[in-house]
Amino acid sequence: MTLQETTTVVLAAIGVIFMLISAVGLVRLPDVFSRMHAAGKATTVGVSCLLLGAGVYFWNDNLLLRAVVLIALIFATSPISTSAMARAAYRTGSTRPLHLRVDEMQEETIDPSDVANHTS
């Protein structure tokens, strides 16, 4: 086995392990935010390793450059999409308050008398 094939197998194995961890996390974690964390983080690393493995395997076809560009796009878009899904889950009320200890997104109601007293 050549160095190129060995590197491909190692990167593919790392990618598959991360994807497996992500799948187990999606099934076993208790709430929607934890599941999105598992899907977002582990899947991003898993797909990146698989793309790198494909890029190393098809070295002569300049696929490595394409894989690196795709990895950069995944790293740029994955946090944005995960954040949008988390915000949508919060706003639709599909979260369990039991697991949400601190709610930083809760809108505070402002008493108009407090505003009148603090303005000079």
Could you write out the three-class secondary structure of 42-108? HHHHHHHHHHHHHHHHCHHHCHHHHHHHHHHHHHHHHHHHHHHHHHHHHHHCCCCCCCCCCCCCCCC
Q: Is residue 102 in some structural domain?
A: no
**With contact defined as beta carbons under 8 Å apart, do 25 and 43 qualify?**
no
Identify whether 60 is part of a domain. yes
- pLDDT above 90 for 29: no
Whether 99 shows a pLDDT value over 70: the answer reads no
Query: Is the residue at 12 inside a domain?
Result: yes
Give CA angle at 77 (102, 63), nearest 5°.
145
The model's confidence at residue 56, banded by pLDDT at 50, 70 and 90, is very high
Residue 106 counted as domain residue: no
> Which burial class, exposed, middle or buried, applies to 68 when counting CB atoms under 10 A from its CB (0-12, 13-18, 19+)?
middle
Q: Would you say residue 19 lies in a domain?
A: yes
> Residue 112: is its pLDDT beyond 60?
no
Is 109 part of any domain? no
Query: What is the pTM (predicted TM-score) of this model?
Result: 0.72
**Quick one: tokens of 71?**
């990895």
Out of 23-37, 61-75, 98-112, pick the least confident: 98-112
Handedness of CA 35, 38, 41, 45 (dihedral sign): negative
Domain limits for position 71 = 3-95
Question: Which residue did the predictor score with more confidence, 46 or 104?
Answer: 46
pLDDT of 119 above 70: no
Q: What's the total number of domains in the chain?
A: 1
Q: Is residue 118 one of the residues assigned to a domain?
A: no
Residue 105 lies in a domain: no
